[in-house]
Amino acid sequence: MGTIYWTSSVLATFGGLPTGLAVVAMLLLSTYLAIFPAAASVAIARLVAHGGRPAFFFAPAAWVATEYARGFLFGGFPWVPLGNSQVTVLGVAQLASVTGVYGLSALVALVNASIAFALLSEGRARIKAVAATGVLLVGVAGWGSWRVAEGSLTRQGTPFRVGLVQGNIEQTDKWNPREARRIFTTYVAMTRDVARRGAEYVIWPESSTPFTFEADPASDAALRDLAREVRAPILFGSEQILRDGTTRLYNAAFLLGPGGETEAVYRKIHLVPFGEFFPLQQWLTFAVPLVDRFVPFSPGERVVMLPVGGHRASTAICYEVVYPSLIREAVINGSELLTTITNDAWYGRSSAPYQHFALASMRAIEQGRYLARAANTGISGVVDPYGRVVAASDVFSQVGMVEEVRFLTSRTIYSLTGDVIAYVAVALTVVALAVSGRRSRRRPRQVHERR
């Protein structure tokens, strides 16, 4: 509840649910997400019951196994994993370049397991546990601090200047026909401004056009003319309607080249539950006011490379950036620059925009790439390959940012190996529970035989 409390206000304000029902929906989601740490706790308790205090050190495996499951079951909801708590502790956070965020989750769980073990132990056992964990933590932080200070990734590759356009359009105005002209002219003027200041690549937020691109010839032509005028590629979010026997609606990102032509279209793969599709909607009868006016999006099928300045970039739309595997797939396919476009106006002045930005920052560390983020109401900004925030906007402000990034081709260990630590955690937890279960079944038989 502490990390997703804001979903209730989103459903009430923009989904049309009565406040009471919106709170119930938030509580249901919280209850579902709570199943995973609860499952980890049950596993740890079972292991400790049969293996004693040393079994506390299975806690990192049990936690990571269930956290990883939360990230893919029923489409996944990997919002704020435990490891993301370290994203601003840059020395420790560099571990993500080797193990991904799940390795950081394991480290945090290990430190806490050591504390629990020490509190319940005495003498040398306590000292050994605390000392071993302390040495590991100091080693990780020391290496990570050296990595950040060495900073070779900020000197490699090809420098490039990106312009991030934060239009600060109120959510209630986005699809108001009377506001369409103002919204579009705002983005046009801001694009010209960042281009004058040297932007070689202009990025607008998710769903930034007040029209459906490819369905409004006059507006399409004006946008293509703008790309030709500023002589820079423009990435922007818009809905896309495809009619090829059936009609499908996509949340898409379009890349216009400097000549005004469409050079790439990326369709959002991971859709937001209850925002872009309605899971189990036949069962959620209490949400009829929302379902009745809900038009579901179709998911995209693949990651698309964006040709920019002779290099390849990628983008993630909104919530997608919380999926480590999706961003890794982009880098495997050749992405030299990570971008993400989003509309966080939904979240209001809650903690959600800050959580979202922090989650995006972790992807930069994992992949060793610059990350540029354009958000309608903020936070827009640039994060370097070590997770340092180069620039960040204030929320609910209108700002055009021009920042230098670099196209990079080197790969981190994590980008090469993926979520190996999560697979090991799952296997270790399953094996430990199986062995524990076998011993518990054997013990009553032995007691009976002795009697």
pLDDT tens per residue across span 391-449: 999 999 999 999 999 999 999 999 999 999 999 999 999 999 999 877 666 665 554 45
pLDDT at position 438 is 75
What's the mean pLDDT in 81-106?
98
What's the mean pLDDT in 53-67?
96
pLDDT at position 285 is 52
Average pLDDT across the chain, whole number: 92
Q: Provide CATH 3.60.110.10 ranges for the chain.
A: 156-415
What's the mean pLDDT in 62-83?
93
* Percent of the chain residues past pLDDT 70, beyond the cut: 92
Check pLDDT > 80 for residue 93.
yes
pLDDT at position 281 is 55
The tokens of 20 are what?
């009471």
Confidence category of residue 274, pLDDT binned at 50, 70, 90: low
Strand-pair category, 399-407 with 311-317 = unpaired
What's the mean pLDDT in 268-281?
72
Check pLDDT > 50 for residue 388.
yes
Reference 198, options 167, 226, 159, 237; nearest CA is: 159
CA dihedral 246, 247, 252, 256 (to 10 degrees): 90
Higher confidence at residue 10 or residue 40? 40
Distance CA 169, CA 182 (A): 10
Confidence category of residue 62, pLDDT binned at 50, 70, 90: very high
Reference 108, options 146, 128, 148, 80; nearest CA is: 80
Confidence category of residue 353, pLDDT binned at 50, 70, 90: very high
Determine whether 41 is exposed, middle or buried from the number of CB atoms within 10 Å of its CB (0-12, 13-18, 19+). middle
pLDDT at position 447 is 47
**The tokens 């990595």 sit on which residue?**
147
pLDDT at position 357 is 98
Phi, psi at residue 138, to the nearest 5°? -65, -40
Check pLDDT > 80 for residue 291.
no
CB 178 within 8 A of CB 383: no
CB 195 within 8 A of CB 163: yes
pLDDT at position 17 is 79
Check pLDDT > 90 for residue 296.
no
Higher confidence at residue 15 or residue 122? 122
Distance CA 357, CA 321 (A): 9
What's the mean pLDDT in 193-207?
97
Check pLDDT > 70 for residue 367.
yes
Catalogue the active-site residues.
206, 268, 318
CATH topology of domain 156-415: Nitrilase/N-carbamoyl-D-aminoacid amidohydrolase (3.60.110)
What's the mean pLDDT in 47-72?
94
What's the mean pLDDT in 242-257?
92
Check pLDDT > 70 for residue 98.
yes
CB 26 within 8 A of CB 5: yes
Q: What is the pTM of this model?
A: 0.92
Check pLDDT > 80 for residue 184.
yes
Check pLDDT > 60 for residue 46.
yes
pLDDT digits (tens, 9 = 90+) for 128-182: 999 999 999 999 999 999 999 999 999 999 999 999 999 999 988 888 999 999 9
Confidence category of residue 348, pLDDT binned at 50, 70, 90: confident
The terminus-to-terminus CA distance of the chain in angstroms comes to: 51
How many Å separate Cα 329 from the centre of its chain?
14
